Structure 1
């Protein structure tokens, strides 16, 4: 399910053995103060879609971004609602199951990867979380990171770039290992992934240092409202945890909770006045699921498929949009670079901005 050009480049670099390097693991406790740097300004670099795609410029100036990921959330529920083959309960449509995401996908904004409109996929070839997040945040195929045990990324992430441009950045995630995909060097901006050994927090439905989504969402939303970052990343993890247990009802409940968090993001932005109105919200997943629902990975190419929804002042609100070619998680960071006024990454493995989000017609 991956595109030929990216697959070919990936295989070449995998052959020469490119690898990730280890990084320190530090995180925000939720209590320390963080200096407020200057806002990232519109840079002198490219601010329009690349020459290889149609020249479409997003409406409005660069503004803040909130990027939410829902670990292991299938496109089937996002676009089709409850899977009646997995549930004994009456079918729920997306508007009932995930009303806020459904509104973004059909009315408030635009969606990529909907059935009949082209596909969006993780590049792989192993469709698991850490490679997916690495691809998502670097805008490149995850060469050298093909499992959940790889070291911290050596490639500057979008979060690193925004911080380097003078923007205020924060990353929060329920899964502790996501920290390895967030930045090449921790300690420069707020990164809070997992429960940090806090025994007062029960990790269920996760294990180890997993922090339940309700705790992660709480501190992320509080930070969004009080600190007003230029980019906030929020990684929710419970849907994948329940799915691995084969608990479809738990998966649906956690997916509905994740959707409610998206709703709370919009509520928070409404309270922020003009700044909130200038903010773009994007929601996606790191990978899909195998046909057996409980699993995912390279053995199940169908688990590559993901989805993407966005809403904001620069996004043309026109529902499910068509993609001329297969999209990848690597295309998310270039799209965000475009919105934030950052220069385009021209490396061989770099993704392309999703110009279909900004076009005024199909």
Structure 2
């Protein structure tokens, strides 16, 4: 009995110590569905911008997003990423510098990618995007089962498969996704308007709503409920790419960059979140090479569709900027990174990817 008490006390002390050494108390995990590393690190792709098949309004697109150098183009496309996050945080995945981030799952489509991100390992039985409840426990559910975080975890996404990915029925995590209405228990005029507007716009993508609604509904939720952990999944880049609309793909990335800036500015001015919140930003899969005519697609048979990227900014993350050294990270590492930033060790029934040490220390 004494040995058991000593063991329990040791675990408690270690956990308290782990929590005390990190300033991060809150996590915001953000994903840009199907957004390539190429655009993040090199800006607009000349093979697509100047191809009328993919960019109908070349003049406007060139005016907004083109530049003489890669650095100029990427800053035009995603100014927050390069003017703020690259100065105060870390960006991984510029394969031109042999810095790599990869999806470990062999399918390179969305559900397996998000499952890998949130679970920290690959379930090979999840190979497509079918709406079925995830049998695996995600790091979000793991956290929601801990008293400190119970009821303080939430998911907002544009894609309507997320209730299944996080198994909302089992995990009891609130999920606002697709065209679902947000609860408006406090009678917010903003939420009422957003609920109305999202159902009065063209449904271009089937089960995916426009990201602007996902963003502002998530922001309203953060302002009213102060979640400790929130996942925000933007979906438009992948949808525009599948339609072959490159100018819209670029526009959506630019808007999402503004959304992320909005989130960060809110975090830095809100007493609950300020200096206590880390943002992790990534994607579920990559896409094929534009020069090979594969840009619209992804999947196991598309070369490059497993090539992804990762960004982080927060009080525990050193300002290393764009990582220019050779290295290899995986999506499986994100779940444990989230837990470790919060002073916890995440465990599951399968071996997990280790935390990204350079992000948490």
TM-score grouping bracket, smaller chain normalisation: 0.7 to 0.9
| SS across alignment from 1:165 | coil
In structure 2, the residue matched to 1:175 is 159
In structure 2, the residue matched to 1:319 is 321
* Deviation of the 1:276 alpha carbon: 2.3
Segments of structure 2 that go 5 or more residues without pairing to the other structure are: 1-10, 51-61, 182-194
In structure 2, the residue matched to 1:96 is 76
CA contact (8 A) 1:58 1:339 kept: no
Is 1:123 paired with 2:85? no
Distance of aligned partners of 1:236 and 1:315 in 2 relative to their CA distance in 1, 3 Å threshold:
same
In structure 2, the residue matched to 1:3 is none
Is 1:109 paired with 2:111? no
TM-score normalised to structure 2 length: 0.79
Is 1:231 paired with 2:229? yes
Offset from partner CA, 1:36-86 (integer Å, 9 cap, x none): xxxxxx96666999xxxxxxx996334101111000101011111111111
Segments of structure 1 that go 5 or more residues without pairing to the other structure are: 1-41, 50-56
* Deviation of the 1:153 alpha carbon: 1.2
TM-score normalised to structure 1 length: 0.79
Between the aligned partners of 1:349 and 1:301, the Cα distance in structure 2 is 27
In structure 1, the residue matched to 2:210 is 212
CA contact (8 A) 2:22 2:341 kept: no
| SS across alignment from 1:352 | coil
In structure 1, the residue matched to 2:260 is 262
1:342 aligned to which of 331, 344, 347? 344
| SS across alignment from 1:235 | strand
Say which structure is richer in helix. 2
In structure 1, the residue matched to 2:46 is 84
| SS across alignment from 1:282 | strand
CA contact (8 A) 1:69 1:235 kept: yes
Aligned length: 310
* Deviation of the 1:266 alpha carbon: 1.1
Offset from partner CA, 1:216-252 (integer Å, 9 cap, x none): 1111011112211100100000010000011110100
CA contact (8 A) 2:32 2:283 kept: yes
CA contact (8 A) 2:139 2:346 kept: no
In structure 1, the residue matched to 2:242 is 244
* Deviation of the 1:323 alpha carbon: 7.1
Larger Rg over CA atoms = 2
* Deviation of the 1:306 alpha carbon: 0.6
In structure 1, the residue matched to 2:4 is none
Matches within 5 A, 1:3-152: 60-88=22-50, 89=62, 90-91=66-67, 93-115=73-95, 116-149=97-130, 151-152=132-133
